[in-house]
């Protein structure tokens, strides 16, 4: 339990413990799920009949967590009415019914509870602002906006173009398009971290303003809370990240790892072990346009980096320059 929640609950059989378990399961599901799928976390904790008589109530809590809803049921069973197997069956039926309710499908499962055992239920709905605040606070690891047209194609992994997108421009759209043609097993999406390494977190209003650009463009975007690539690799295991040559140069520069070359190697090899790859587009570095082949990538990491040929993509445009032109 401590490993799952990152803490020991004050009480193992409690509403809070079930809800914490459901949230932990929801975050794990977000990381493990296939691209574009809806996910749910389920938590169950109970104190049921056992070989030795219990002083306290026989009771259980079941909680389900989706992107915008937390539902919890609490049932106190009549003591001595059922065997352990029968209490297991009643509580299992409640878990199945809770999953059905969260999926908004009718459940025909009979839970066989008696009159005094009517469950106490609570439902908490979250609006978009609350969902984003939970990402900023680190409660939830990401929020996914599906704006692209649905596709029947099955994708093996995510193809992610991270950035601030302030503003989103044609260069970004073209880069994702070119990368998608090179990596056709990847589910294409943009990603914005609400948390910055050296600046305050983005406000909810600012996140929504940037998300609106993707809605208008009909492109998927993920809001996460991980500004560092090694953390993004944990969050999106097996993904291919689209980056510029300038970012690739920083990734392998020991300067950003406290000057420790071995530390840099250790972190990036850990990313490699999760199946992470980088598609690298040419970018200006100190006024000179450079491509992957001109960078000094350590031998152990070379197969993580794939070059996007200059003839396929080169647009000398940046969000910073666009903001300056717009007087922002």
- pLDDT tens for each residue of 90-125: 999 999 999 999 999 987 777 788 888 989 999 999
* 26-52 residue pLDDT tens: 999 999 887 668 899 999 999 999 988
Element of type H or E holding 244? strand 240-244
C-alpha distances in Å from residue 37, one per residue of 46, 73, 102 = 30, 25, 15
Q: Is the separation of the CB atoms in 176 and 190 below 8 Å? A: yes
d(CA 29, CA 181): 28
First to last CA, the chain: 49
Q: How confident is the model at residue 200 (pLDDT cuts 50, 70, 90)?
A: very high
Considering only residues 72 and 317, tell me which one the structure prediction assigns the higher pLDDT: 72
Q: Which range among 127-141, 250-264, 281-295 shows the weakest confidence by mean pLDDT?
A: 281-295
Q: What is the pLDDT of residue 145?
A: 94
Residue 290 pLDDT > 70, yes or no? Answer: yes
Distance CA 139, CA 5 (A): 11
What is the chain's mean pLDDT, rounded?
Answer: 92
* Residue 222 and residue 191 in contact, taking contact as beta carbons nearer than 8 Å: yes
Instruction: Name the DSSP class of 34.
Output: P
Tens digit of each residue's pLDDT (9 = 90 or more) over 233-246? 999 999 999 999 99
Distances from the Cα of 280 to the Cαs of 105, 163, 176, 230, in angstroms? 44, 14, 11, 16
Q: Tell me: the pLDDT tens digits for 53-91? A: 888 999 999 999 999 999 999 999 999 999 999 999 999
| Share above pLDDT 70 across residues of the chain, in percent, rounded to a whole number | 95
* CA 164/CA 127 separation, integer angstroms: 23
């Amino acid at each position: 339990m401590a490993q799952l929640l990152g803490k020991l609950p004050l009480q193992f059989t409690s509403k809070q413990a079930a809800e914490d378990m459901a949230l932990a399961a929801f975050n794990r599901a977000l990381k493990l799920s296939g691209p574009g799928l809806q996910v749910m976390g389920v938590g169950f904790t109970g104190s049921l009949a056992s070989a030795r008589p219990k002083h306290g109530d026989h009771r259980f809590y079941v909680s389900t967590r989706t992107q915008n809803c937390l539902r919890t049921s609490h049932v106190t069973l009549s003591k001595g009415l059922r065997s352990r197997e029968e209490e297991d069956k009643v509580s299992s039926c409640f878990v199945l019914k809770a999953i059905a309710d969260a999926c908004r499908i009718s459940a025909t499962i009979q839970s066989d509870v008696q009159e005094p055992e009517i469950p106490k239920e609570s439902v908490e709905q979250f609006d978009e602002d609350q969902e984003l605040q939970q990402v900023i606070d680190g409660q939830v690891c990401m929020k996914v906006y599906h704006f692209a047209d649905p596709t029947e194609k099955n994708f093996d992994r995510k193809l992610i173009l991270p950035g601030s997108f302030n503003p989103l421009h044609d260069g970004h759209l073209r880069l994702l398009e070119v990368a998608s043609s090179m990596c056709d097993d990847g589910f294409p999406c943009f990603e914005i971290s609400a948390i910055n390494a050296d600046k305050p977190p983005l406000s909810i209003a600012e996140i929504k303003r940037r998300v609106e650009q993707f809605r208008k463009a009909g492109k998927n975007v993920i809001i996460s809370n991980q500004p560092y690539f090694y953390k993004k690799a944990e969050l999106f295991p097996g993904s291919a990240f689209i980056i510029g040559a300038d970012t690739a140069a920083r990734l392998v520069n020991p300067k950003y790892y406290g000057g420790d070359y071995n530390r840099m190697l250790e972190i990036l090899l850990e990313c490699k072990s999760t199946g992470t790859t980088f598609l690298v587009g040419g970018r200006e570095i100190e006024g000179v346009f450079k491509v992957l082949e001109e960078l000094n990538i350590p031998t152990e990491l070379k197969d993580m980096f794939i070059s996007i040929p200059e003839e396929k993509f080169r647009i000398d445009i940046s969000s910073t320059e666009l903001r300056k032109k717009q007087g922002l």
